[in-house]
Amino acid sequence: MSIANSAPSSTPTLVEVKNLKVHFPIRRGLLRRQVGAVRAVDDVSFDVYQGETLGLVGESGCGKSTTGLAMLKLQAATAGSVRFRGQEVTTLPEQQIRQMRRHMMMVFQDPYSSLNPRMTVGSIVGEPLSVHQIGAPAERAARVQELLRLVGLNPAFINRYPHEFSGGQRQRVGLARALATSPAFIVADEPISALDVSIQAQVVNLMGDLKAQLGLTYLMISHDLSMVRYISDRVAVMYLGKVVELGSRDAVFDRPMHPYTRALMSAVPVANPKLERQRRRIILEGDVPSPANPPAGCRFNPRCVFAKEICRQEDPPLRVLEISDGVEHRVACHLAEELAA
């Protein structure tokens, strides 16, 4: 079962990411001279369509969270472009980006550290309204109570502090805060990874209900593939700072074309014991290369059993291999057609 809906490419584009790069300098010596850079995000491009949920997956350290932060200009981009409703985000001055953030919000990974322990829940949820000067004080108080009801919390909790809530309740507070200014786009960075398994489904279902009710658009960053398959319309797979596959949820999960995606999907357990015993796991050998010194050519080639000489020399572009249900399936692999045959 899934709560995602189809998101064909004919749907209007809400966010457009083109050739985005985020490099962190490596400095050494007494004068702190730059001797290199960690290429956390390196030439990433994708679109987020209005009303969809785009899942961004990959192993830890691949650049998922940095991509989300750069899209909201919470992390400065080294190069590239991020456009929200046609307006460039990366070069906006501080005053204008503050105004745009009314429409682009974030739900952080850790509900324990993302809420100020010295502020009441009412103050936390109402802070975006105060920052953006939305409504009079009485209207803000009413809006806070409405938001708490919306995420399934008792409005009488407005005077309580974060330490009085469970992890799932705190993440609901974080959701209410993100919804305060009625945004169109929400970046959710590992929203359930810090929660108990028994609470995760409740939060995911709540996010799906809010999307349908409020017409939200999500970028769902996660390494929980089961959750991504449940809630996403399309899926982008990242490896070592690059998007290696992008397509509809069913195409990426059921017909992965990139060798890394195949290995990733083979790790997803199957509920049927018979099928689970028959399933063939793909075990990758070697370690993930350092983003400060990525390999030449395809970045996955040192761990790919199919790699050829062209893979070691040329970086494959993210190109369209097929269109399924109106959604482009893009793969960055020189051998994609050969492996799919």
Predicted pLDDT at 4: 57
Q: Taking Cα atoms as reference points, which of 93, 74, 75, 92 lies closest to residue 83? A: 92
Is 303 within 8 Å of 284 (Cβ atoms)?
Answer: yes
Is pLDDT at 275 greater than 80 in this prediction?
no
Residue ranges of the chain assigned to CATH 3.40.50.300 = 13-103+183-340
Confidence of residue 17 (pLDDT cuts 50, 70, 90): very high
Beta bridge partners of 88: 83
Weakest-pLDDT range from 73-77, 240-244, 282-286, 294-298: 282-286
Give the pLDDT confidence score for residue 276 in this predicted structure.
Answer: 65
Residues in Cβ contact with 20 at an 8 Å cutoff, skipping those fewer than 6 apart: 41, 43, 44, 45, 67, 70, 71, 77, 79, 80, 81, 82
**Mean of per-residue pLDDT scores for the chain:** 90
- Pairing, β 53-57 against β 234-239: parallel
pLDDT at 7: 52
CA neighbor of 47 nearest in space, from 219, 260, 216, 207: 219
The two beta strands, 79-84 and 87-88, are antiparallel
pLDDT at 8: 54
Q: What is the pLDDT of residue 212?
A: 92
- For CA atoms 113, 65, 223, 48, the dihedral sign is positive
Predicted confidence at residue 76, as pLDDT, reads: 94
- The larger pLDDT score, comparing residue 283 to residue 27, is at 27
d(CA 304, CA 82): 31
Could you give the 3-state DSSP secondary structure of residue 44? Answer: strand
What does the DSSP assignment read for 254-308?
HS--SHHHHHHHHTS--SSHHHHHHPPP-PPPSPPPPTTSPPSSSTTGGG-TT--
Least confident of 85-89, 91-95, 239-243, 274-278: 274-278
Q: Does an H or E element contain 81, and which? A: strand 79-84
User: Residue 156: pLDDT above 80?
Assistant: yes
pLDDT tens column, 181-221: 999 999 999 988 878 887 888 888 999 999 999 999 999 99
**288: amino acid identity, one letter:** V
pLDDT band of 315, cuts 50, 70, 90? very high
- Measured at the alpha carbon of residue 203, what is the angle toward residues 224 and 251, in degrees to the nearest 5? 40
CATH superfamily, domain at 13-103+183-340: P-loop containing nucleotide triphosphate hydrolases (3.40.50.300)
What pLDDT is attached to residue 244? Answer: 97
